[in-house]
């Protein structure tokens, strides 16, 4: 009876995988598991440490550390090949009957897990809606932190951040620094700011300044004061979708614009300008949504 049920669930999972593969093909999305190699290539591996045996959440097991096996399973570890049936159904029966299975082996990168050994067990456990699974964990440190997603945009952002850290060495000189951008291209803007800071430091000192030294000084004297103002005015709460680093880029942009225009410049005037713009944007949003009378005046 359990064998029949296991086979039915395998076929249902395969059909679900097929439907998703067709949808993925039509929408040009990937139809395979993310692999550890592509994640580490983007984020940059820094070191490994054994984390012991743990109960890990199945919904954070997102990919494979074994590229040859990645083709056997689709996203969410749905089985894709009929040759997996025998082993998959055997593991299904063992799990349902309460057999004690060995821990799977995984790499942990940030909050994500990539399977070294145990793909079938993860696939079956997901089909049975198990919340966790027992695993031997090897933790992998990366230069660029990874968020909860491993889609193409997230990997590109991680790759940009890893490249930024390679050049600036900020992760070594200021280990507490977390410069996370939500949009592509912003790490290039940060790097341009640091190069400008490096130039002026060289003028002040009358000699060359290395880029890592300039990056650390920029973080202390530019980034941190602006971040402090962002927290003081609670700007993140009023601008959903932005990160602190996004706002630092935007505020610095305005700081430079004020300076070029010959107006009072610095972090405080730039923050005030941003807050006024945000207030005006909200006013226009309210007006459009409730059709306010035309005579009501917008904020100055």
The CATH code of the domain that includes 98 is 3.90.1530.10
Dist CA 156 CA 25 (whole Å) = 21
Q: What is the pLDDT along the chain (300 residues), one digit of tens a residue?
A: 566 677 666 656 765 665 555 444 444 444 567 788 878 877 788 888 889 999 999 999 988 887 655 568 887 898 888 888 899 999 999 999 999 899 999 999 888 899 999 999 999 999 999 999 999 999 988 888 776 666 666 777 787 888 889 889 999 999 999 998 888 788 888 988 999 999 999 999 998 999 999 999 999 999 999 999 999 988 888 888 889 999 999 898 888 888 888 888 888 888 888 888 877 777 676 777 665 555 555 555
Residue 300 domain flag? no
Contact of 111 with 27, CB cutoff 8 Å: no
Residues 184 and 284 in one domain: yes
Contact of 64 with 35, CB cutoff 8 Å: yes
Please calculate the CA angle 40-46-52 and round it to the nearest 5 degrees. Answer: 90
Contact of 235 with 193, CB cutoff 8 Å: no
Instruction: Mark which of 142, 159, 181 sits at the end of a domain.
Output: 142
Q: Flag whether the pTM goes above 0.75.
A: no
Residues 116 and 175 in one domain: no
Residue 134 domain flag? yes
Alpha carbon 236 to its chain centroid, in Å, reads: 18
* Beta bridge pairs of residue 45: 142
Query: Whole domain around residue 197: which residue ranges?
Result: 169-290
Dist CA 123 CA 11 (whole Å) = 13
DSSP-derived pairing of the beta strands 132-142 and 45-57: antiparallel
Residues 110 and 196 in one domain: no
């Amino acid at each position: 009876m359990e064998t029949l049920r296991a086979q039915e669930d395998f076929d249902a999972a395969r059909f679900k995988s097929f439907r998703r593969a067709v949808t993925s093909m039509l929408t040009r999305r990937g139809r395979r598991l993310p692999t550890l190699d592509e994640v580490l290539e983007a984020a940059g591996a820094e070191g490994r440490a054994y984390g012991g045996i743990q109960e890990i959440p199945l919904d954070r097991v997102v990919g494979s550390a074994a590229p040859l096996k990645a083709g056997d399973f689709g996203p969410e570890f749905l089985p894709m090949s009929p040759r997996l049936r025998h082993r998959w159904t055997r593991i299904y029966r063992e799990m349902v009957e309460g057999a004690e299975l060995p821990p799977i082996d995984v790499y942990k990168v940030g909050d994500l897990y990539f399977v070294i050994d145990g793909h079938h067990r993860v696939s079956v456990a997901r089909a049975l809606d198990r919340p966790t699974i027992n695993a031997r964990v090897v933790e992998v440190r990366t230069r660029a932190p990874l968020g909860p997603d491993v889609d193409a945009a997230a990997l590109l952002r991680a790759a940009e951040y890893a490249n930024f850290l390679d050049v600036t060495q900020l992760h070594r000189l200021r280990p507490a620094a977390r410069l996370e951008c939500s949009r592509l291209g912003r790490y290039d803007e940060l790097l341009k700011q640091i190069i400008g800071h490096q130039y002026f430091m060289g003028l002040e000192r009358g000699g060359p300044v290395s880029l890592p030294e300039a990056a650390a000084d920029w973080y202390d004297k530019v980034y941190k004061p602006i971040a402090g103002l962002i927290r003081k005015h609670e700007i993140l709460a009023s601008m959903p979708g932005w990160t602190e680093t996004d706002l630092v880029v935007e505020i610095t942009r305005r700081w430079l614009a004020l300076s070029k225009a010959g107006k009072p410049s610095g972090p405080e005037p730039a923050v005030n300008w941003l807050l006024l713009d945000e207030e005006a944007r909200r006013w226009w949003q309210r007006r459009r949504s409730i059709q306010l009378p035309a005579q009501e005046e917008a904020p100055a």
